[in-house]
Structure 1
Amino acid sequence: MSSPPGLAIFVLWWLVAELVSDSILKGVKASLHACPGVCICASDLLSCVSRSLSTLPPGLPSTATSLDLSHNSLRQLQSRWLAQLPRLRILRVDHNHISHVADGAFHNASKLTHLDLSSNRLHSVEGHFFQELTYLQELLLYNNQIQRVDSRALSRLSSVQKVYLSWNHLTDFPFTALREDSLPQLQIMDISSNRLSSIPIDEVAALPRAVKNGLYLHNNPFTCDCTLYNMFLHWEKSGFNSVHDFRGEHTCLALRQPRASLRFLKHRKRFENCTLAAHGLIGLGDTTSVGVVGEPVLIGCETKLQSQQTTYLWISPNKELISDSFNQTFRLYHNGSLEIRKVRKEDAGIYTCVAIDKLLMRNETREVNVTVRPSRQHGEGFNTGFTTLLGCVVSLVLVLIYLFMTPCRCWCRLPTNPSPPNECSAHSSTLSATPPCYNEVGRKSATGKHVVFLEPVKDCQNGKIRLAVSEEFPDIKHPKIHQLKSDSDSISSVFSDTPIIQ
């Protein structure tokens, strides 16, 4: 029994469709996993290094997330040139001859997180270069011929953390583009080894602390200046990595002479006369304020924006905006100062002041590190009272030792010659520095203060002191020792330091 013609046609059509779809699927799979002969493919990694390529090779697998085209002969990056690699995250095109980046070159590669354009022939960084790269985290542009960076070139890089622009020909740089509101994730901005002869100190000093910590400016031909020196000195004392890591490579030119290069952070004798006050840098850097628990402390917002249109905002160490809701703890003044009414231990930390001038379309930030000390009543007052009490106790002990342990011996006996009564009393020469000496008639010729240790007994002759051992007979083995004589004629003479003449 023969089958109907319609059924045969349907079966034939189904077989043709299967063959076509199978071939299409095989082609798609082949395109997904194809690898050009000039490249090396490993899973989602593509390496086309040192192949003398002037254009992107065709047939690259669309699953690639990393592409290495370094050490080739690429001269420009055309618009949408990465359209066949939608998953690309890492792109290396270093060591080529790239001098031009077309508008929309990264339109189809907006998910890039790492871009290496180092060691090429770029002369500038224009505003349209990286507009699509909102996920970019690392940008390598070192060792080019860049002379200018457009202020808008980095404005869209909201996720960027590290930018390397060293070893170029920069004579100027838009430091205002590094503000926290435009590049909140920025950790490293390397502008070292360029041709900067000076920098805008006010703009650089107003940058956030995290940016200054990673702002590398060493090995530039700066003109030696006290203001510049004091800024780097302040950064060094603050422990910024940008100065600490390359301390010996911070140089400046004396009298603008290329041969007179000074390592000013190592050899500071030429800058001994530079002071912060003389050059107005006291308020430019981060400052420190010390508060005492329970007492008020006033923090100033020292910025260059001091017009009547300037408004101020303060941010607490907990990253909270200080406003009227904090009126129990803080007080805001019209000049930008912030008062902590009663300082607590938890109030310590870094306070950030933001000065905004809407008329000039400018803003500046300052950071103040507030440290808190214990209350004087419980700290310094206690220490002072304890010290005073301890001093009194020690003095009393010394007096008791002096009164009861003085090694003074006194023998009472009648002299052979008539003289004033000899008795052991408080009026004797207990406090005499030397035993009292007597003249020929037995009267006392001098008194003094006694010390703890007894001294050799001395005698007097014609108003002069002489040793008890006869100087005329030095060979006598048992010298005659004169006994201590007491004198009760005058009580006032006991503590006298001068001789009494009668």
Structure 2
Amino acid sequence: MLVGLAGFLEMTDSAAAPRLSSWSVVLMFCMLLGPVWASACPSQCLCTSDLLSCTALDLDQVPVVLPVFTVTLDLNHNRIMQLEEESFEGLPRLEMLRLAHNQLTKIQPGAFRNSSGPLLRHLDLSSNQLMVLEQHYFQDLPGLQELLLFNNRIVRVETGALDALRNLHKVYLSHNLLTNFPFFSIQKHSHPNLSMLDLSSNRLPKLPLKDISNLPQLVKEGLYLHNNSLVCDCSMYSLFRFWEKQDFASVRFFRQEHVCLVYGIQRGVQFFLYSRFFDKCNLMGMKEQKGNVSVTAGEPLLLHCITSLSRTSTTFFWLAPNSEYVVPPGNNGSLKMFPNGSLEIVAAREEDSGIYLCMAQDQDHNETREVKVTVLRHEGEAHEHFNTGFTTLLGCVVSLLLVLMYLYLTPCRCPKHRPPTTVTLSRGKEARPGSAQSSILTPTPPLTTEGPGRKVSTNKHVVFLEPIREQQNGRLRAGPGLLLGVEPQQRAGETDSYVSVFSDTPILLP
């Protein structure tokens, strides 16, 4: 076949051969390549473009010979019981692998070796008979984004089963037989893109509240736990109530499917609809997830050290507001610390208010968390603040009334009536009462108007004027504040003029 292809190319390059159109060349190339593709396509399978479909063919193993150009491989609805080593060897372009509805019970080490590990992004293993997710199953698939494992018989997920899947976005583990799950293995630095973890319809009896609280926020928002065999307790109830207030989709869309088991009741209780079973629960756990918490004086308070580090090899310590280091088991009795990093304030006091700093550290990383604690003196402290403010306002009003009474209601001690004082101006003329003696402030410079043909003086700016006290040698003698930098002037033969500083209109004195 290759010899024929070479001969065809020689023929098209020769000058004697007729010129063929580009479409004729493409058609001839496809005709020659067709037998190659057909020979690689397994019997009874459908090979089209980059899709290889071998569904419902009663296969008991993965075909040995597979087209190298396969991007999507569909092996659904067969009888494949296990994946052997290098079952998908020679598929460098494989991106989607579907193995749903088979009888898989085991995946041998290296099953995905020599395949397109970094490119494979979708793996469907749903509706099989897998019982344990072992650590080596997916270690050759670092680019995997979606992992479908629902409707199996999985009873256990090993701690490191998902560690190699750093690009993982969604994991579907619903409808299995799980009684626990290694939540502590899901960390922000190990799974930064994980946004959905479906563990619904399993047999989880109790939730590790501390480990779930340490999950990355993106994982918590996409964590589905409905239809499990949860035992009704306050910690479980407070967790889901907190998620309800945060409007997580897992609660919003499956509100009625959240059930728990109460002692003496055979059927599960829909605790979102029947909350009377939790009337005595202290829901402080809902506040502990936030950075600011408050507690009434005398009551206990539990603070959690929220961290993304694995709890198996992590050490914790707290720094109290008074710069006191706290490590397990605590200090002299007012603060207790547990090995998992939680700190308990046994009986809150007002001096316990402030910023509490938690430090978590392992061999490679360290993280810190701040929690602001406010200790309230009693339940009605908010009303006390209002009363204090009202009292202050009332005091200000009373003080203002007293000032007004002092200004307007105090009796006026008026001096005895005295005859008006006459002041002789220069040349022996007397100044009539009024004007200068009663003038104090002047908003505008006074104008001195003189007779016909006389000039107007504009350089006399009176700022503060006191009454004239005496005469000396026929001239005016001003008080200390008569004029600032200006002396009274009067020319010979001019008509005396007197100006009121409260009027812009000159007043002529005869």
TM-score (normalised: structure 2): 0.55
Alignment pair present for 1:98 and 2:104? yes
Structure 2 counterpart of 1:243? 251
Mapped to 1, the partners of 2:135 and 2:240 lie a distance apart of 30
Tell me, in whole angstroms, the C-alpha distance in 2 between the residues paired with 1:136 and 1:233: 33
Give the superposed CA RMSD.
Answer: 4.6
Equivalent in the alignment of 2:305: 303
**2:123: which partner in 1?**
115
Alignment match, 1:144? 152
Specify whether residues 198 and 364 from structure 1 end up closer, same or farther in structure 2 by C-alpha distance, changes over 3 A only: farther
1:44 and 2:46 are equivalent in the alignment: no
Write out per-residue CA displacement over residues 219-271 of structure 1, whole angstroms, 9 at most, x where no aligned residue: 101111011101111111112222222111111000175x2310101211121
Q: Does the alignment pair 1:54 with 2:56?
A: no
Instruction: Report the equivalent of 1:285.
Output: 289
Residues 384-399 of structure 1 mapped to structure 2, 5 A cutoff: none
1:363 deviates by 7.3
Shift of 1:54: 1.2
**Letter of the structure 1 residue corresponding to residue 56 of structure 2:** S
Residue 21 of structure 1: how far off its partner (Å): 12
Q: Secondary structure in 2 aligned to 1:242?
A: helix
| Alignment: residue pair count | 327
Alignment-derived partner of residue 80 in structure 1: 86
Cα distance in structure 2, aligned partners of 1:145 and 1:200: 22
Structure 2 counterpart of 1:129: 137
- Alignment CA distance shift 1:227-1:266 (3 Å): same
DSSP 3-state at the match of 2:244: helix
Task: Tell me the distance in 1 between the aligned counterparts of 2:68 and 2:372.
Answer: 52
Aligned to 1:460: none
Match of 1:31 among 27, 36, 47: 36
The SS at the match of 1:229 is helix
- Given the superposition, is the C-alpha separation of residues 200 and 263 from structure 1 closer, same or farther in structure 2, using an over 3 Å criterion? same
Which residue in the other structure is 1:63 paired with?
69
Q: Indicate the larger mover: 153-162 or 170-179.
A: 170-179
Question: CA 1:73/1:197 → structure 2, altered by over 3 Å: closer, same or farther?
Answer: same
* Correspondences of 1:433-448 after superposition (within 5 Å): none
Q: Match of 2:231, as an amino acid? A: T
User: Residue 280 of structure 2 is aligned with which of 273, 278, 284?
Assistant: 273
Identify if the C-alpha distance between structure 1 residues 69 and 240 changes in structure 2 by more than 3 Å, giving closer, same or farther.
Answer: same
Judge conservation of contact 2:149–2:172 (CA < 8 Å) in 1: yes
In structure 1, what is the equivalent of residue 219 of structure 2?
211
Partner of 2:452: none
Q: 1:137-286 alignment to 2 at 5 Å? A: 137-255=145-263, 257=265, 259-277=266-284, 281=285, 284-286=288-290
- Counterpart code for 2:86: R
Structure 2 CA distance for aligned equivalents of residues 90 and 369 of structure 1: 48
SS of equivalent residue, structure 1 residue 204: helix
Instruction: Give me the whole-angstrom Cα distance separating, in 1, the residues matched to 2:134 and 2:234.
Output: 34
Instruction: Assess, with a 3 A threshold, how the Cα gap between structure 1 residues 133 and 273 changes in structure 2: closer, same or farther.
Output: same
Q: Contact 1:135/1:159 (CA < 8 Å) preserved in 2?
A: yes
The answer (yes or no) to whether the contact 1:66–1:90 under 8 Å persists in 2 is: yes
Output one character per residue of 1:134-188: Cα deviation in whole Å (capped at 9) or x when no partner: 0000000000000000011000100000000110011111111111121111000
Q: 1:397-443 CA distances to partner (integer Å, 9 max, x unpaired)?
A: xxxxxxxxxxxxxxxxxxxxxxxxxxxxxxxxxxxxxxxxxxxxxxx
Shift of 1:105: 0.5
Q: Is 1:356 paired with 2:380?
A: no
Alpha-carbon separation, structure 2, partners of 1:364 and 1:223: 33
Which position in structure 2 is the counterpart of 1:446? none
CA distance 1:240–1:287, change in 2 (3 Å)? farther
Q: Counterpart amino acid of 2:268? A: S
Query: Any idea what SS the aligned residue of 2:52 has?
Result: strand
Matched residue type, 1:185: N
Identical-pair percentage: 40
The separation in 2 between residues aligned to 1:251 and 1:311, in whole angstroms, is 37
**Cα distance in 2 between the residues matched to 1:51 and 1:224:** 47
Deviation at 1:364, TM superposition (A): 7.6
Cα separation, 1, equivalents of 2:162 and 2:238: 29
Q: 1:312 deviation in Å?
A: 8.0
SS in 2 for 1:96: coil
Q: Displacement, 1:28?
A: 7.5
Offset of 1:207 from its aligned partner?
Answer: 1.5
Partner Cα separation in structure 1 for residue 46 and residue 5 of structure 2: 36
SS at match of 1:232: helix
**Match runs of 1:282-431 below 5 Å:** 284-288=288-292, 302-303=304-305, 310=316, 355-358=359-362
Question: Are residues 226 and 165 of structure 1, via their aligned partners in 2, closer, same or farther at CA, if it must alter by over 3 Å?
Answer: same
CA distance 1:176–1:365, change in 2 (3 Å):
farther
Change (3 A) 1:309 1:92: closer
Aligned residue type for 1:74: I
Paired residue type of 1:303 = C
- TM-score w.r.t. length of structure 1: 0.55
Deviations 1:67-96 (A, max 9, x none): 111011111111111113221000000000
Q: Hey, what's the Cα distance between the residues in 2 that align with 1:206 and 1:218?
A: 20
> In structure 2, the residue corresponding to 1:91 is in which secondary structure?
strand
Runs of 5+ consecutive residues of structure 1 not aligned to the other structure: 1-14, 291-299, 314-331, 337-350, 371-379, 393-502
Which structure would you say has the larger Rg?
Answer: 2
